C-alpha cells in the first residue's frame, strides 16, 4: 500500500527555502549588546566609586567615634544581660555548693542528709547535679564574654559571709547566707491550684512559719548534723527547710 502523501523534490526545495527565509527573523545572540552591558556596568562602577569611598570614610569615622560595633562584637545591652546572668549563676553556684558540702552524694552521711532523703530518695544526687550545672553555666557565660573581649563577672570580693562551722566544711567566705532564711512557700500551693495568678489570685504559704522569722537550711555546727539512724525533729526541720528552699530557688531561676 502506498501512502497518499507524496513529497516531491519540488516540495522539499520550497520547504527548505521557506525555512531559510525565516531563519534571519530568529534573533541571533546579541554579543555586542552583552559586551555593551558589561562595559556600561564597568562605567557605572567607576561612577559609583567616589560615593562608595565617601560611605567608607563615613563608616570609619563612626567607628572611630564608638558609634559602630565590629561585626562580631556584642552590643552594650547584650553584654549587660550576659553579665547579669553570669552573676546570677555565680550566686546560685555559691548556695548549691553549701548544700552539696553537707547533703550531696559525696557529703559524709549524717542525720541532716537522712532528713533530705525523707523528702526524696534522690535528693543528694539532685543537689550534686544542680551544683555541677550552676558551675558550668557560670563558666560558660564568663568564657563567652571573654571570647568577645568583654569583662567577665567575678563576685569573689563579695564572698565575705561566714560558712557553716561543721568540721568538714571548707572555711571560706560565702556570697549567700543559708543560716538565716525566710522562705516563701506559696509556690507549693500555687502549683497545685487551678486558679491563675495572672488574674489576681493570691496563694497562701504551704508552711506559714517558714515565711516569718529566720531559719537555717544547713547544719550550723557538728551538733546539728544529727544521728544518721535517728535524726531529731530539729535536724529534720533543717533538712525540710532546705527542701522547700530548693523549690523556691528553682522558681526564681525559671522566672529569671
Whether residue 134 contacts residue 128, with contact meaning beta carbons closer than 8 Å, is answered with: no
Q: What pLDDT is attached to residue 1? A: 45
pLDDT at 207 over 70: yes
CA dist., res. 113 & res. 111, Å (int): 5
Q: What is the pLDDT of residues 24-63, one digit of tens each?
A: 444 444 444 444 444 454 444 444 445 444 445 544 544 4
Domain boundaries, the chain: 76-181+216-255
Query: What digits encode the pLDDT tens for the residues 60-101?
Result: 544 454 444 556 789 999 999 999 999 999 999 999 999 999
Whole-angstrom distance, CA of residue 221 vs CA of residue 251: 29
Query: Mean pLDDT of all residues in the chain?
Result: 80
pTM above 0.95, yes or no: no
220: number of Cβ within 10 Å = 16
pLDDT at residue 69, as a whole number: 53
For residue 200 the three cell numbers come to 489576681
Per-residue pLDDT tens for 3-22? 443 434 444 443 333 333 43
According to the model, what pLDDT value does residue 131 have?
Answer: 97
pLDDT over 60 (residue 23): no
Cα end-to-end span (Å), the chain: 94
- Percentage of residues in the chain with pLDDT exceeding 70? 70
Cell match 504551704: residue? 206
Calculate ∠ Cα 206-209-210, nearest 5°.
Answer: 75
Q: Is the pLDDT reported for residue 174 higher than 90?
A: yes
Cα 7 off chain centre by: 82
The span from the CA of 79 to the CA of 83, in Å, is 6
**What integer pLDDT is reported at residue 198 of this predicted model?**
87
Amino acid at each position: 500500500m502506498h501512502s497518499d502523501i507524496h513529497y516531491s523534490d519540488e516540495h522539499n526545495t520550497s520547504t527548505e527555502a521557506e525555512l531559510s527565509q525565516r531563519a534571519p527573523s530568529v534573533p541571533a545572540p546579541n554579543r555586542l549588546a552583552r559586551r555593551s552591558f558589561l562595559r556600561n556596568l564597568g562605567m557605572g562602577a567607576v561612577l559609583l566609586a567616589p560615593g562608595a569611598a565617601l560611605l567608607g570614610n563615613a563608616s570609619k569615622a563612626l567607628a572611630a567615634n564608638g558609634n559602630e560595633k565590629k561585626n562580631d562584637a556584642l552590643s552594650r545591652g547584650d553584654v549587660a544581660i550576659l553579665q547579669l546572668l553570669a552573676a546570677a549563676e555565680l550566686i546560685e553556684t555559691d548556695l548549691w555548693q553549701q548544700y552539696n558540702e553537707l547533703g550531696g552524694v559525696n557529703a559524709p552521711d549524717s542525720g541532716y542528709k537522712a532528713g533530705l532523703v525523707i523528702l526524696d530518695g534522690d535528693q543528694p544526687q539532685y543537689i550534686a547535679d544542680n551544683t555541677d550545672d550552676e558551675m558550668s553555666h557560670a563558666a560558660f557565660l564568663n568564657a563567652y564574654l571573654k571570647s568577645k573581649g568583654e569583662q567577665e563577672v567575678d563576685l569573689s570580693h563579695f564572698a565575705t559571709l561566714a560558712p557553716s562551722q561543721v568540721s568538714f566544711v571548707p572555711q571560706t567566705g560565702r556570697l549567700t547566707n543559708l543560716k538565716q532564711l525566710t522562705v516563701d512557700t506559696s509556690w507549693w500551693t500555687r502549683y497545685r491550684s487551678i486558679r491563675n495568678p495572672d488574674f489576681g489570685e493570691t496563694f497562701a504559704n504551704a508552711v506559714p512559719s517558714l515565711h516569718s522569722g529566720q531559719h537555717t537550711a544547713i547544719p550550723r555546727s557538728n551538733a546539728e548534723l544529727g544521728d544518721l539512724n535517728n535524726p531529731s525533729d530539729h535536724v529534720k526541720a533543717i533538712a525540710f527547710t532546705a527542701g522547700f528552699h530548693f523549690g523556691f530557688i528553682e522558681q526564681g531561676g525559671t522566672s529569671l
